[in-house]
Amino acid sequence: MTAYRLASGGLIDRSNTIGFTFDGASLSGHAGDTLASALLANDRLLVGRSFKYHRPRGIVTAGPAEPNALVTIGTGARRDPNTKATVAELYDGLAATSQNRWPSLAFDIGAVNDRLSRFLSAGFYYKTFMWPAAFWEKVYEPLIRRAAGLGRTDLPRDPDGYEKSWAHCDLLVVGSGPAGLAAALVAARSGLRVILAEQDFVLGGALLSETTRLDGEAPFVFARHALDELHGHPGVTLLPRTTVFGWYDDNVFGAVERVQKHSATIDAARPVERLWRIVAKHAILATGAEERPLVFGGNDRPGIMMASAASTYANRFGIAAGRSVAIFTNGSSGYRTAEDLSAQGVEIAALIDSRTDASDRAPDGVRVVRGGGIIDTKGRRRVRAVIADRGGFEELIACDAVAMSGGWSPVIHLACQRGGKPVWSQALQAFLAPEAGDGLVMAGAAAGHYRLSECLDDGARKASAIVEALGRPVAGFERPVVGEEVDPSFTALWHVPGARSKAFVDFQNDVHGKDLGLALREGFGHVEHAKRYTTSGMATDQGKLGNINAIGILATMRGVSPAEVGTTTFRPFYTPVSFGALAGSSRDEHAMPVRRSPLHGWAARHGAVFIDAGLWYRSSWFPKAGEKTWRESVDREVRTVREHAGLCDVSTLGKIEVFGPDAAEFLNRLYCNPVLKLPVGKARYGLMLREDGMVYDDGTVSRLAEEHFLVTTTTAMAAGVLSHMEFAAQVLWPELRVRFLSVSDQWAQMSIAGPKARTILQAVVEDDLSNAAFPFLAAREVRLKGNLKARLFRISFSGELAYELAVPAGYGEAVADALMRAGEPQGLCAYGVEALNVLRIEKGHVTHAELDGRVTPDDAGLGRMMGTGKPDFIGKRLSTRFGLTAADRAQLVGLKALEADKDMRAGAHLLKDGAKPSTINDQGWVSSVCFSPTLGTHIALAFLKSGRERYGEKIVVWDKLRGVETFAEVCDPVFVDPENRKLMA
Amino acid sequence: MAYDYQAVHALDGTIGAVPGQRANHLAVHRATAIAVVLAAPGHGAEAAGILVADGAFEARFCGPGEWLVLSEVHAPETLVAELSVRLGAFAFVVDQSHGRVALTLSGPDAARILANGIAVDLHPGAFAVGRAATMLCNHLSVNLARTGVDRFDLVVMRSFAEAFVADLKVMARSHDLSVDFATR
Amino acid sequence: MASLISCPHCGVRPKEEFSIRGDATPVRPAPMASDEAWNDYVHVRANPRGRIREHWQHVAGCRRWLVVERDNFTHDVFSVTDAAAGRGGAQ
């Protein structure tokens, strides 16, 4: 037995005993424990195996910088790997397992790496597993990854919910220690909106483990009073269990709140984690300071921890780290720990102080070894003794725990995440935060003010300045009377000379002092190179403990100041954040909103099979009883439209209404074809180009009144075309008097196509629909029987006699039902986008399968539409450039399959008959393919070099991806009714 | 054959009503007439003046020279006609009664629920009663108007209404929320 | 995580509400301007480091096109104005 629970003391609830398991063993702790403190209370010093050498490792810290005590918490779909035991709140039923060991923590096969370690130096893997190159991905990497690793994640679906929230405040205080609490109190009393975020599950920070008295009482009493007061301020939000992990542009902070990570039973009505985006006018970082490890031989043995951690475990958790603790320090802090432990009745084996001239006073009875250092440690799975060296005189000191203190580093990560470089302070022997502007200031220990009184004063002072900057009267703050306090001065000691065994710099990535020396010798002495060469600071803890020593060691070896070495780049996240929290509720149907057509219900009632089209669900085909394949349904729908009539939902087309005296002029500049003279009551096909001369989108333009147009876009480009029009109106030609609005959602729109279309529509529409009264391309408001206003357009995508009828969206289903009833005697059927696609291919109409951004109007056979006489339109100028008018451009053609048993597929390339299959001989590509029930064969639309001159040619359709070569005949792309007799009927 | 068309609301059959009148409530308006007013170029001030002066309409700011006008008393056609008469040549009026869906979220947690999808500061001091603006809520654009300290109107595109209500329920998961069509 | 843009019409909004088109400095040439002028306008961009002017559209808000003047290195935003302001077009 070494570590144990003290008989009294600490802020734990001894009346509340909590059961948990570690590697299957049933253990118990108390409410208020972390997993780490509970493990120590049970004398579980060995908690993990190191990453590379599989060395036994124990708990080093009592906070978020922990490099060693990474465990997996939870089981099944709720496994959280790589959780730091030092911050994990103990709860009833917590099940923790150790990581990176096989078969067990106590007996680990991988530990052989430790004995092979002289072959496993920095860069070993890069140097050794270089050849053959192909082996890296398949053999070496998987092997190495299995041997060197962290916790495993699991594949089952995460059963829990996550939430993302925005928050706004005048002041964000990060950290609830003395500086943070003082700042929050001043701001709250001054009426500011304050958010106080604390990563711990108890607010109070260092006040929870500090022993210097405030107003004569233990400091946590002050913290409780302060928190009680803050609770009472309506503008204050207290966020315990919340880690502020990132500082982003415009003073937005990212924070993750662990809402239900401290419970075995999850309330499904609440998220397990919440990601906060906090927009703060000002922020105070009161993140404290991190104690530095000392780099001495064998400094990684279980039982060796930070001195401040030993104090915290004693004072906050009522735990002695050992029965006989050796303290190794380079400053005053080690003496404070000696006092804390002595006060709890723990024996101090020795206090080894690297300084020769220190004047600190050790507690009575404690032996001090001045000017000494530890050069090695003994023990197997826990420390049993240290070898201290003083001026060449070695001494074996028996102990069962070591507390080390290497000085202090302000926690400045957040302040450096936006590019500012830390500034070296010679006086403090530490890096301080860079000047970060008005939005963010450091306070307390994070600003290098280590004394308790200074922390309180600094927090209050920084908050007062912010209150003033916001133009508010500053409320008072009377600092409590601070008892005898310690100034944690120290003399930097980056590397303890004379190490007899590995002296670790980065515990988590197993980087030791010699690795850094090797890096420097091999030319990787720059701090960023050394990091990557040795992997120091690249583990999940991002070198929170080790980086500063790595910098100091590099500086010493290079003979320069740490200021010259500098730090590696600080980036979010401060500590790891789960993907669940980052995704929030954006998963499944909430990841991409579903868009529903107003005719969705109608289509569903008719048995539609739906297909995703962007965010939309579109009806793809409508299977009838007995139809076994989609082709059977689609072929029937196509034949029905060609012979009788069909009804198709086209509500998803973009619809934009355009108003104003310059509406016609505006559209005339937007479309490549002329619009100015379009008569009222008529529609026209319209083609929009990009400024580079390529086709952007197509649709229709209808003139509803002299200064009122309705334009349609394709479904896919609806949003893009609206933005394009807004750019044209607001940026290119703001002088044009035009306004427009997307009305896509207002209208349910259906296409009624086929020889019987007029008869069917006339049964529902009051207005005369005869060819004379409502000719091809007529577009105007009509009145339906039953007194409903609608818009009717005689336009056709299928090549049949066809109309598009638009009614207010809510009436869509009722009108579609009425049309289906009216059409029943005529053989009307519902048809989906698959049949629509076949119909348009048969008619040679293009879609974005053809208009893929590389196609000019002439390529698509629409060159005659170009309003070349217009003074200007988007795309006009560059349409005339050489290359876009070349005679050998690929032009739209039709293809008829010549081999019935071989598939043509879109994306296939075209070759001359007899040409070697190669992209050098490429003659074009296939853009759309279908089986044409009308022609009884497969047909395609394709782009072929000088294609319009090559009708009748036998050509090879070469599909290298699918390994198909087949013959097709080049033909006119209009397969059906080239004279437009049906269209005009 | 009789032609008597019944309008279907975008959320009919898909609302997933959470019954009762809980602490927080999302009411879906079945028959709100909605129009968009676009000021004629150069006449934004006049159009705004007429919309504000009247008081008969609830005009919500969407963007420069663009407002959503909601009415519980007008039918869609009469709302458009009335607005067209009053605004004359100063604006174009477009019926959007079927193109948008209007909802009201009320209750003590309303602003907190919205903060789970909306980045705008909804503190009453920052977004006061009477303010309206179009903003992003998760993935969707929504026009939000504060009609009371704990009361917001939300107007969304019809095709997204179902997805929006589903999102809002998730946003409100930690809060007590009932959802139903408004009764009036 | 976030960047905030202060829309002149809507107030402070997260960048997710905007779509960025790119350089706002090229001006569309006259219809019959030279090949070089049109080539520059459509194809050539300088991609400087530092202070730039860009076209951003507030797609999830007022849908106005804005000119955002910002530093693409420090991410400082210096000004956000309506692209049509002062050109006779602000509604």
Determine the pLDDT at residue A350: 97
| Domain CATH for B70 | 3.30.70
Type and span of the H or E element at A633? helix A630-643
B110 and B39 in a common domain = no
Determine the pLDDT at residue A153: 76
CA-nearest residue of chain C to B38? C91
B12 in a structural domain: no
B1 in a structural domain: no
Type and span of the H or E element at A455? helix A452-469
A659-673: burial string, b at 16+ Cβ within 10 Å, e else: bbebbbbbbbbbbbb
Angle at which helices A527-534 and A547-558 pack, to 10 degrees?
120
Total-model pTM: 0.95
The two tokens of residue A330 are 């380079």
C-alpha of B75 from chain center: 16
Mutation target vs C (from B135, B154, B156; most C CBs, 10 A cutoff) = B135
**CB spacing of B135 vs C60 below 8 angstroms:** yes
Range of the domain at B76: 33-95
B121 and B170 in a common domain = yes
The answer to ipTM > 0.95 is yes
B176 and B111 in a common domain = yes
pLDDT in tens, B13-58: 888 888 889 999 999 999 899 999 999 999 999 999 999 876 778 8
* Cα–Cα distance measured from residue A458 to residue A188, given in angstroms and rounded to the nearest whole number: 16
**CB spacing of C75 vs A279 below 8 angstroms:** no
CA atoms within 13 A on the CB side of A390: 16
* Cα–Cα distance measured from residue A803 to residue A779, given in angstroms and rounded to the nearest whole number: 9
The residues that bridge with A799 in the sheet, in sequence order, are: none
Cβ atoms of residues A530 and A536 within 8 Å: yes
Q: Does A963 touch chain C (CB under 8 A)?
A: no
Q: Judged by CB atoms within 8 Å, which residues 225-254 of A form the interface with C? A: 246, 248-250, 252, 254
B18 in a structural domain: no
B108 and B58 in a common domain = no
The two tokens of residue A716 are 């896919």
Q: Which CATH superfamily is domain A162-289+411-469 in?
A: FAD/NAD(P)-binding domain (3.50.50.60)
Nearest CA to CA, how far is C90 from chain A (Å)? 8
Q: DSSP string spanning A783-824?
A: EETTTEEEEEE---SSSSSEEEEEEEGGGHHHHHHHHHHHHG
**CB spacing of B63 vs C62 below 8 angstroms:** yes
* Cα–Cα distance measured from residue B150 to residue B108, given in angstroms and rounded to the nearest whole number: 6
Q: Judged by CB atoms within 8 Å, which residues 108-147 of B form the interface with A? A: 115-116, 118-121, 123, 126, 138-140
B123 and B86 in a common domain = no
**CB spacing of A165 vs B116 below 8 angstroms:** yes
Q: What percent of chain B has pLDDT over 90?
A: 85
Domain count, chain B: 2
The residues that bridge with A386 in the sheet, in sequence order, are: A377, A397
Determine the pLDDT at residue A308: 97
Averages of pLDDT over runs of 10 residues in chain A (985 residues) are 88 97 96 98 90 89 96 91 96 92 73 70 64 65 62 84 97 98 98 98 97 96 98 97 97 97 92 98 98 97 97 97 97 96 95 95 95 95 95 95 98 94 96 93 98 97 98 95 89 95 93 92 92 90 93 95 94 94 92 94 97 93 97 98 98 98 98 97 98 97 98 96 98 97 98 98 98 98 96 97 98 97 97 98 97 97 95 96 92 96 93 95 97 96 97 97 95 97 93
B88 and B108 in a common domain = no
B4 in a structural domain: no
**CB spacing of C60 vs B136 below 8 angstroms:** yes
Cβ atoms of residues A659 and A738 within 8 Å: yes
| Dihedral angle, C-alpha A420, A421, A424, A429, nearest 10 ° | 90
**CB spacing of B66 vs C91 below 8 angstroms:** yes
Count of helix runs (H) and strand runs (E) in chain C: 1, 6
Q: Which residues touch A567 (CB under 8 Å, ≥6 apart)?
A: A416, A421, A422, A431, A527, A547, A551
Chain B residues in contact with C58 by the CB 8 A cut-off are 63
Indicate the residue type of A559.
Answer: G
Which subunits sit against A, judged by 3+ Cβ pairs under 8 A?
B, C
Determine the pLDDT at residue C25: 94
Q: Does A913 touch chain C (CB under 8 A)?
A: no
pLDDT at residue B115 greater than cutoff 70: yes
Determine the pLDDT at residue A99: 87
Mutation target vs B (from C4, C10, C64; most B CBs, 10 A cutoff) = C10
Q: DSSP string spanning A916-953?
A: -SSGGG--EEEEEEEEETTTTEEEEEEEEETGGG-TT-
Site of tokens 């529903």: A596
Overall average pLDDT of the B149-159 stretch: 98
CATH no. for A494-565:
1.10.10.1100
Most distant CA pair in chain C, distance: 45
Which CATH number, 3.30.1360.120, 3.30.70.270, 3.30.70.1400, 3.30.800.10, labels domain A654-745?
3.30.70.1400
Q: Could you tell me the residue ranges of all domains in chain A?
A: 1-156, 162-289+411-469, 293-406, 494-565, 600-652+746-840, 654-745, 887-984
CA-nearest residue of chain C to A719? C59
Cβ atoms within 10 Å of B169's Cβ, excluding its own: 15
| Domain CATH for B164 | 3.30.1360.120
B67 and B134 in a common domain = no
Smallest CA-to-CA distance from A694 within A502, A884, A557 is with A884
* Cα–Cα distance measured from residue B145 to residue B32, given in angstroms and rounded to the nearest whole number: 15
Angle (CA) A646 A649 A655, round 5°: 130
Cβ atoms within 10 Å of A969's Cβ, excluding its own: 15
Q: Which residues touch A188 (CB under 8 Å, ≥6 apart)?
A: A194, A229, A230, A233, A235, A236
B85 in a structural domain: yes
Last residue of a domain, one of B95, B113, B134: B95
Q: Does A597 touch chain B (CB under 8 A)?
A: yes
Site of tokens 């009592």: A62
B5 in a structural domain: no
Of B3, B10, B38, the CB nearest to A784: B3
Smallest CA-to-CA distance from A619 within A654, A656, A646, A587 is with A646
Q: A293-406 belongs to which CATH class?
A: alpha beta
B175 and B126 in a common domain = yes
Determine the pLDDT at residue C90: 45
B121 and B47 in a common domain = no
Determine the pLDDT at residue A661: 97
Nearest CA to CA, how far is B99 from chain A (Å)? 3
Nearest CA to CA, how far is A192 from chain C (Å)? 20
Nearest CA to CA, how far is A673 from chain B (Å)? 26
**CB spacing of A279 vs C59 below 8 angstroms:** no
Radius of gyration of chain A (CA): 38
pLDDT at residue B167 greater than cutoff 90: yes
Q: Does B6 touch chain A (CB under 8 A)?
A: yes
Q: Does A732 touch chain C (CB under 8 A)?
A: yes
* Cα–Cα distance measured from residue C60 to residue B68, given in angstroms and rounded to the nearest whole number: 15
Last residue of a domain, one of B54, B75, B95: B95
Give the 3-state secondary structure of B111-168: HHHHCCCECCCCCCCCCCCCCEEEEEECCEEEEEEEEECCEEEEEEEHHHHHHHHHHH
Smallest CA-to-CA distance from A419 within C4, C74, C77, C49 is with C74
Q: Does B64 touch chain C (CB under 8 A)?
A: yes
Q: Which residues touch A820 (CB under 8 Å, ≥6 apart)?
A: A606, A647, A828, A830
B117 and B87 in a common domain = no
* Cα–Cα distance measured from residue A447 to residue A429, given in angstroms and rounded to the nearest whole number: 13
Domain A887-984 sits in CATH 2.40.30.110:
yes
CA-nearest residue of chain A to C57? A723
Chain A residues in contact with B167 by the CB 8 A cut-off are 585, 590, 593
B109 and B76 in a common domain = no
Determine the pLDDT at residue B54: 65
CA atoms within 13 A on the CB side of A152: 14
B71 in a structural domain: yes
Q: Judged by CB atoms within 8 Å, which residues 36-75 of B form the interface with A? A: 36, 38-42, 65-66
Comparison of pLDDT for B69 and A115, the residue scoring more: B69
pLDDT in tens, C30-85: 999 999 999 999 999 999 999 999 999 999 999 999 999 999 998 999 999 999 98
Cβ atoms of residues B127 and A559 within 8 Å: no
CATH architecture of A1-156: Roll (3.10)
Decide whether A1-156 matches A293-406 in CATH topology: no
CATH no. for A600-652+746-840:
3.30.1360.120
**CB spacing of B64 vs C13 below 8 angstroms:** no
pLDDT at residue B88 greater than cutoff 50: yes
The two tokens of residue A939 are 């047909």
Determine the pLDDT at residue A132: 65
Chain C residues in contact with A248 by the CB 8 A cut-off are 1-3
Q: List, in sequence order, every beta strand (DSSP E) within C1-91.
A: 4-7, 11-14, 19-23, 51-57, 65-71, 77-82
Mutation target vs C (from A244, A247, A248, A250; most C CBs, 10 A cutoff) = A250
The two tokens of residue B106 are 């009320």
